[in-house]
Amino acid sequence: MPTRRPAPGKLLYAQSGGVTAVINASAAGVIEAARARGVQVYAARNGILGALREELIDTSKESKAAITALRHTPGGAFGSCRYKLKSLEANRAEYARLIEVLRAHDIRWFLYNGGNDSADTALKLSRLGKAMGYDLRCIGVPKTVDNDLAVTDCCPGFGSVAKYTAVSTLEASLDVASMADTSTKVFILEVMGRHAGWIAAAAGLAGEGADAPPHLILFPENVFDEAAFLAKVKATVERVGWCTVVASEGIRNAAGQFLADAGTRDAFGHVQLGGVAPTLAALVKGRLGYKVHWALPDYLQRSARHLASKVDAEQAYAVGRAAVDYALAGMNAVMPAIVRTSDAPYRWKIEPAPLAKIANHEKKLPRSFIRRDGFGITAAARRYLSPLIRGEAPPPNGKDGLPAYVRLQNVAVAKKLPAFTP
C-alpha cells in the first residue's frame, strides 16, 4: 500500500455488536498504525451511540504499553452497542447529528469494527458524507464470532470461539464418557449461531469417526427433524454408551419456527432465543428416558481469551492496521477482507472489499460442509476450519494466577455541542 502524508483531521474508531476475544487486537492495530502515521485517534464510547451522544475518548492519553496490551485483552475496551441506524428517510435527524459531531471534532476517517449491521452503518455513513458535502472516509473492520460476513474467507473472532467450542466439546465428552455407566447418558452443548452453523461445525473438530464426539451436530441450515434426532441419539447411546450433541441456537422446525423462540426481540429487531439446549434435553429425557445434562456457554465462548487462536489474534490485528492504511489512502466504503491463498500450509492475505457486497449479506455454511446424514461435518469443512484454530496466544500472567488484562483510562474529549438523545 503506497503511503502519503495524511491530510489534517482525526480518525474515529468504534466497536459494535457482541464483542469477541480478539476485537481489542483490531483496536490495537488501528491505534498503532494511526500513531505511526501521525494521526490522532478518538474512540466512540459504546459504538455508534457514542458518536451520536458526542461521547468520545482520546486514545492519545493511553500509553504505548496499554495499547499493546489490548492485543491480549478480551471484551470491548471502549464499549460496544447493538444499535442499527434506520434509513436516511426514516431518521434524518440522527444522520445530521453524526455529521455535526464529526465536523465539530474535525473527524475525517471513521472505522467501524463489527459484523453485518456495522458494515451497513459504515456504508450508510459513507454515502451520507457525500450527500452532505462532508469529506469523510468510512471503513468497515470485520468482526463476528458467527463467521457470517460475505466476501471475507473468515471473520476475526470466529477462530477463537471455534477453538473454544472444539476444546470444550472434547473435554466435556471425556467427562461424560467417564460417568456414563451410572450417570449422564446424553450431554447437549448449545452454541451461538442464529442462521449460520459455523460455530456448531467447529465442534466437529473435536473428533473423527462415528463413535467420536460430537455424535450429533444440529445446524440451523437444516430443518430439525425430531424423529431422526431421537433415533440418532438412541442408536448412539446403545452403541457407544453415551452421546454428545452440539446444537446451534438457531435450529428451526419444519414450520420455520425457532425451537427456542423466547417471544421477544433485541435492539436490531432479531428474535431473541431462549435456549435450545434445555428444550432438547427435555425432549430426550421425556421420550427416551436418558439422564441428560446441558450447557450454555453464552458469553464464555466469545470472551475466552485464555484459549484464543493465534491465527485469529493475528488476523484481528492485521485487519485493524489495514483499515487505517485504506482510510489514509483515500479509500471509502471498503472493508479489509481476509483472503485464503493456501490450505496446506495455511496462508492468507488482506485485500479491500466493497461494503456494498458485505452489508446485509449473510454467509451460511455451505452444503458441502455438512455430512450427508445432516449430523456432522465433511472433510471439506475440516480442511477449512482446522487452520483457523491453530496456535496459542496466551495472555501474560498477572498476580494471583489471573491473566494480566488491561483497563484503559478512556479519557473523555470535551464536548462542543448540545446534548442529543438517540
Residue-wise pLDDT for 72-86, tens only, equals 999 999 999 998 888
DSSP type of residue 362: -
Q: How far apart are the first and last CA of the chain?
A: 38
Report pLDDT for 264: 46
Read off the DSSP letter of residue 59. G
Q: What is the mean pLDDT of residues 201-221?
A: 96
Grid cell in block for residue 405: 488484562
The yes-or-no verdict on residue 269 having pLDDT over 80 is: no
Q: What is the dihedral of CA 327, 329, 332, 337, to 10 degrees?
A: -70
Element (H, E) at 109: strand 107-114
CA distance 172 to 189: 9
Per-residue pLDDT for 323 more than 60? Answer: yes
**Distance of alpha carbon 230 from alpha carbon 243, whole angstroms:** 11
For residue 303, the one-letter residue type is: S
Q: What is the CA radius of gyration of the chain?
A: 22
CA distances from 349 to 50, 233, 275, 318, 392 (A): 32, 42, 37, 9, 20
CA distance 339 to 153: 6
Query: What pTM does this model have?
Result: 0.94
Question: How do residues 148-180 score in pLDDT, each as one tens digit?
Answer: 999 999 999 999 999 999 999 999 999 999 999
Which residues are catalytic, by number? 146
Closest CA to 74 of 17, 112, 22: 22
Interval 330-341: pLDDT, tens: 999 999 999 999
